[in-house]
A and B are shown apart, each in its own frame.
Chain A
Amino acid sequence: MNVRLLLFLILWPFAAAAQGFGGLGTDAEGFSDPEPGRVFSFPADHGAHPDYRIEWWYLTANLDAPDGSQYGLQWTLFRFALAPDLPLGDERQIWMGHAAVTTPQAHLSTERFARGGTGQAGVQAAPFSAWIDDWEMTGPDFDRMRLRASAPDFAYDMTLVAEGPLVFHGQDGYSVKSGDGQASYYYSQPFFRIEGELVLPDGEVALEGHAWLDREWSSQPLSDDQDGWDWFSLVFDDGARLMGFRLRGETDFTAASWIAPDGSLTAYPDGAFAVEPLEEVRVAGRDVPVGWRVTLEDQGVDIRVDAVRQDAWMDVTVPYWEGPVSFEGSHSGRGYLEMTGYE
């Protein structure tokens, strides 16, 4: 079977409506909607929220090899509900995993799919476990976890240790995504220390670095007219972090979180954070910006961000660009960039 097309069929409310990237802008009647003022409850909220249509556990990491070369790593688990009011164990709760590594030679990516309720994939809040097939992010709690994934051309086995608190974006975790009020619940653990082993067909590499885990769930996170985003998670050399995104639509919408080294977060509304593409390359038949000017005036940030590998294309059913970046200017450091909706 052409699995892509069949999956396209299954994900059709998301993918075929041509509204927003991956169907994230489609109407969400029957599903729960995020409301401001939610009181998060842990560990329960690390688990799944089946009454919301879409949800993800999204980890990216910038890593170094003993020889000084830079690597990137991604591990993501998505949940999509095909219909409202489905319990977590329903088979129409679809799970999708994406894994990738960026090595000095290549960007490698792969994906997995599973139906819910069979044990092939799922998430459990405590002790924490998120898995699909043999991929897993699992540990006694959310601060200490083992992270594994495998593909025909790579496999990794890493440990994660949190060295700072969880941070909550927007209004205490209620993150607005458009002028029309579309929003999601969004918190992160941007302070993971990560180390472990990457297996490649020609050998093994010991890696260490820092990782950033995003948790987000919603039912209609994008507005109708929004067709993609540019999403930055940047780690400054002095220990501060910056999360900023631009949602592209009839008018662009931006938001950002400035995270001090101690974890205190300053949220910035639409317009404070600005990005400007400086350099485009042709990747997978599309023009994708891989060099950016990024500014957050209030924090004196004016930097040029460049992709470590320009070909960090996620060649999966719903494809996008996701890869490690480095930056210089008013500040320097490394981070991750995700770009969706470039046709």
Chain B
Amino acid sequence: MIPTILRGFVGHWRRNPLQLFTVLAGLALATALWSGVQAINAEARASYDGAARTLDQGLFDRLDDPSGASIPFDTFVALRRAGWLVSPVIETEVAGVTVLGIDPLTAPAGLAPATGPQGDAPQVIPPERGVVWGAEATVGAVAAALDPTPETVILPEAAPGTVLTDLRLAQRIMGRGDVVGSLILLPDQPLGRPPLDEVAPGLRLTRAAGETDVAQLTDSFHLNLTAFGFLSFAVGLFIVNGAIGLTFEQRRGMVRTMRALGVPLGRLVAALAVELVLIALVAGGIGVALGYLIAAALLPDVAATLRGLYGAEVGGAVSLRPEWWISGLGIALAGTAAASGAALWRIARMPILASARPRAWSMASGRGLRLQWAAGLALLAGAGALALWGEGLAAGFGLLGAMLIGAALLLPGIIDLVLAIGLGRAEPGLRQWFWADTRQQVPGLSLALMALLLAMAANVGVSTMVSSFRLTFVGFLDQRLASELYVRTDSPGQAAAFTDFAEGRARAILPLMSVDETVAGLPSEVYGARDDATYRENWALLAETGAAWDELGRGAGVLVNEQLARRAGLALGDAVDVGPAQGLPILGVYGDYGNPIGQVIMGEALFRSLWPEVEPLNFGIRLPPAEVPDFVAEARESLDLPEQAFVDQASIKALSLSVFDRTFTVTGALNVLTLAVAGFAILMSLLTLAALRVPQLAPVWALGVGRRVIGRIELARAVLLAALTTLAALPLGLALAWALLAVVNVEAFGWRLPMYLFPLDYLRLGALALLASVLAALWPARRLSRTPPAELLKVFSNER
């Protein structure tokens, strides 16, 4: 019998193809947003789980030369012979790919991905051809660039942009002799070995990075994306709810007829459920495919985002995994169930002889509205409490969620209140009817309006955050890349030759010296800065004790970055121990965006006295930009420096900015999609109401108001509601931005971004939202204005 009933339903869809489209499209869009975000997340995560395993040398304690020089291989042997379990690592680059040379015989578990036996073992250790392990694209590129061509072994999980090989092959590529870059200390060292200083006095021990590792930072980015995914799905669910409600409303008549013809209620409900499952599966399938397209389109930008923010490499390709199909279809089914439960229940409870007249959308009773007020206020209070006392990233996102849902729940009540005030002030007659009728429609439109509110607020919030980030970041780049030219030398001798050369030719030579130290218990970099106008002019400090740069030049204290200040709870004037120096006062705190670890700057003289063995090998050069090419050409000629040794500021800045500009395109694109979905929700709701409202409009028409006027009033009503929602979305969006910048960002990254306001952007957004709602209202209004008088008359003859 169910197939027969289903044929009846199909007849309904055939007469209302638009409705079928809206139901399918609504569900598909919601699923698409959800599964797109999930796909991006899963792909990025899979990519750098591998990357973290391969590359996270931060997982291990490490020995290296404080001056940045390489370590003789014999030092490795001496340490092993003394009982220290160390393993050499050397890093170079071939065809733009990082080649990580390791000693497979001593490398610790966890340095590289596991691999099974492949290839010919004697090849592994040169002098024969050698083997490179890595992702398909990268090993091919590296192998092609080498002669003789090494054997390649594909490790699908390997970090993109990195291949592994035996250190001998890496050494051969570098052509620097029997040296290694650093030595990794294995986690479990044997008993009874001599102190490190006795065996390798010149080497510096850096402890594993611990909690500041890449994985934790990238986790926060994923959390961010996941939150966005949920928001998108919530918006989508509002649509589905509306669409399902509509189809059920319109078929009440058919259901009554079928029951009157003897179809048992159980069968009927079962048939409706089967139909819903079919719809959910079809729409879910379309949604997953769309989501895949979204993910595929955005993934290169996600990769750029992660690379730009954290230096983590993510493969730029997305593959359609079976789990997305399952999770996408699952969420479509769950969403349909959630959205249709109430409607099905209502059908099941409908008395067999009840009037087939479409019930006007469930009018919010006074009690329902009061409940909504209470829930909304409670959620906002919870958000406030989280903002005051919450700690951790989860609390940050909890705050976001409570704030958004609370505000959405309050929206119908607030709009109702505003309309009630409008009603009180309106002149009797058509105007009063306009306000009253608008107020009466709010419950029916509330889901669509909530969707619009959330979409707008997310838009305002995220764009505020991105733009604030950009302003801050550009200023930061100007600070950091103040020198016109950067020069890298390989040895102290080369460095001395270079400074001799540059003396007199350049306006200033700024040696860049750094060591890794643990400061206030946190892994940090310590820089020595020459007292030069470059720093004073370009570095803005977030907080300073007046004349900070003069004091710094005199060695009377240090500057610390914001990350270190926040994590270690340091304030201006606090004393810190930096390396061998005790109790240096903090003269200032500077913004250091995107850097995961702590940083300390001290005057050059103090730095050199504390670490006399550190020879600066990198230099910033100040000279008029026009002179840069000549300077580079001369330096290369007279000093035999390779081209890569010079980087001009413009190219670094351009690179950084281009990375950054792609950085948030993901969020931007998702923003646009969300707004489109919200616009769709309004269109849908208005279409629904338009059909249902004929009985309410017929009396107005009968009282002499023309159909065109009625159409215009309908349009004005839509614009009014959209405008009210937009007004409510602005403060909500700003609160969202504040939570992102001042709560979530601090928890995730350890620094707070200054918040800038962009009124023009908001105006444009508001205009867009109004435009979207006008476009959405236009068609239903037009349909109303064209309703044949006969239809309007029927209201009186048939229904009453």
Contact = CB atoms under 8 A, between A and B. Distances in A.
Interface of A: 1-13, 15-16, 82-83, 91-92, 94, 110, 113-115, 118-120, 131, 133-134, 150-155, 199, 201
Contacts of B81: 119-120, 131, 133-134
Contact of A1 (B77, B112, B117, B119): B112
Interface residues of A, dominant DSSP: mixed
A7 B125 contact: no
Given A8-B117, A134-B190, A152-B191, A83 B109 contact: no
A65 to B, nearest CB: 18
Contacts of A133: 80-81, 83, 85
A151 B85 CA distance: 10
B104 interface: yes
B193 interface: yes
Contacts of A119: 74, 77, 81
Nearest to A93: B125
A114 B80 contact: yes
Contacts of B109: 1-4
Contacts of B319: none
B405 interface: no
Interface string B181-210: 000000011111100000000000000000
B530 interface: no
A6 B119 CA distance: 12
Contacts of A120: 76-77, 80-81
A120 B82 CA distance: 10
7 contacts: A1-B112, A6-B107, A8-B116, A9-B115, A92-B125, A92-B128, A120-B80
A9 B190 contact: no
Interface residues of B, number: 42
A5 B103 CA distance: 14
B174 interface: no
B696 interface: no
Contacts of A4: 109
Given A1-B111, A7-B105, A9-B116, A134 B125 contact: no
Contacts of A115: 103, 105, 125
Nearest to B85: A133
Contacts of B110: 1-2
A9 B191 CA distance: 29
Contact of A12 (B121, B126, B164, B193): B121
A5 B115 contact: yes
B118 interface: yes
A150 B83 contact: yes
A1 B105 contact: no
A154 B115 contact: no
A152 B189 contact: yes
A120 to B, nearest CB: 5
Contacts of A201: 191
B106 interface: yes
Contact of A82 (B118, B125, B188): B125
B108 A1 contact: yes
Contacts of A91: 125-127, 168
Nearest to B112: A1
B191 A10 contact: no
A8 B190 CA distance: 24
Given A5-B114, A6-B107, A114-B106, A155 B121 contact: no
Nearest to B82: A134
Contacts of A113: 105-106
Contacts of B103: 115
B403 interface: no
Which of A6, A7, A10, A154: most chain B CB closer than 10 A? A6
A3 B107 contact: yes
